[in-house]
């Protein structure tokens, strides 16, 4: 066995069960989706719902916050691929992925937790945003910065401001908008509205 193989070999002991881990993640999301906040959530409740012992959970996660972060992160898919041909089209692609999540009850619960419990659990929210939200924000920053560099957008554009305007507007529609407002063309209308102010 090489040094590299030794470094990556699984430590001795009971092998990890993907089925058990999936059941624990699903149980955590189910309880959150039913309206249970982070403070109310307990390892006992998760273990009971997942049909596993508490030791099975603690073997994988050292505390409740670590488990919640991992569970919430599974709800956020990576940013969708963009073609890189048009800033407008790429921004629509990224925003439409956000719009599509509005129909998912679990994802709505993530937003509720992020908005209502961030003060009580700043470390949890910081880790969640870093793992699941920041990659999407960075994808949008990259698209906007590319537009500035190639002349599609104004040369003196505040990239961070534009990213926040677009993503913030979509979040407002997702959280407080009427169902009829989440139409398939919402991302396109948002981008076109903002483009009138940021195009050269």
pLDDT tens string 42-79: 999 999 999 999 999 999 999 998 898 888 888 777 88
Instruction: Give the long-range contacts of residues 41-46, CB within 8 A, separation 24 or more.
Output: 41/68, 43/67
pLDDT for 16 beyond 80: no
Domain 87-198 classified CATH 1.10.357.10? yes
Q: Is the pLDDT of residue 13 over 70?
A: no
C-alpha–C-alpha distance, residues 130 and 174, integer Å: 21
On whether the CB atoms of residues 198 and 190 are closer than 8 A, the answer is no
Q: At 86, is the pLDDT very low, low, confident or very high (cuts 50, 70, 90)?
A: very high
- Read off the pTM: 0.75
Name which residue leads in pLDDT, 35 or 48: 48
Q: Tell me, what's the pLDDT at 198? A: 93
- Looking at 1.10.1040.50, 2.60.200.20, 1.10.10.60, 3.40.630.10, the CATH number of the domain 15-73 comes to 1.10.10.60
| Domain segments of the chain as ranges | 15-73, 87-198
Give the whole-angstrom CA distance, residue 126 versus residue 130. 6
Beta strands per DSSP E along 81-184: none
* End-to-end C-alpha distance for the chain, whole angstroms: 60
Q: What is the pLDDT of residue 114?
A: 64
The pLDDT of residue 160 is above 60: yes
Distance CA 77, CA 146 (A): 23
pLDDT at 65: 87
- In angstroms, the CA 125 to CA 105 distance is 19
What is the crossing angle of helices 134-150 and 87-100, to 10°?
A: 160
Q: What's the mean pLDDT in 37-45? A: 90
Q: How many residues does the chain have?
A: 200
Q: What is the pLDDT of residue 115?
A: 65
CB 169 within 8 A of CB 99: no
Residue 131 DSSP label: I
Q: Are 147 and 153 in contact (CB under 8 A)?
A: yes
User: Which is nearest to 200 in space by CA: 138, 143, 140, 149?
Assistant: 149
Task: Give yes or no for residue 180 having a pLDDT over 90.
Answer: no
């Amino acid at each position: 066995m090489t040094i590299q193989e030794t470094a990556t070999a699984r430590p001795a002991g009971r092998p990890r069960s993907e089925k058990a881990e999936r059941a624990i993640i699903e149980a955590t999301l189910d309880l959150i989706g039913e309206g249970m906040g982070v403070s109310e959530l307990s390892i006992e409740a998760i273990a009971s719902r997942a049909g596993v012992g508490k030791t099975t959970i603690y073997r994988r996660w050292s505390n409740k916050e670590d488990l919640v972060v991992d569970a919430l992160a599974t709800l956020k898919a990576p940013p969708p691929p963009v073609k890189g041909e048009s800033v407008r089209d790429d921004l629509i692609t990224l925003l439409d992925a956000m719009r599509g999540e509005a129909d998912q009850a679990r994802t709505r619960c993530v937003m509720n937790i992020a908005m209502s419990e961030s003060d009580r659990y700043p470390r949890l929210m910081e880790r969640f945003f870093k793992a699941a939200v920041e990659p999407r924000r960075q994808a949008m920053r990259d698209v906007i910065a590319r537009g500035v560099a190639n002349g599609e957008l104004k040369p003196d554009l505040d990239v961070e401001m534009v990213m926040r305007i677009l993503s913030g507007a979509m979040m407002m529609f997702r959280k407080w908008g009427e169902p009829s407002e989440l139409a398939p063309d919402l991302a396109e209308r948002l981008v076109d509205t903002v483009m009138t102010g940021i195009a050269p």
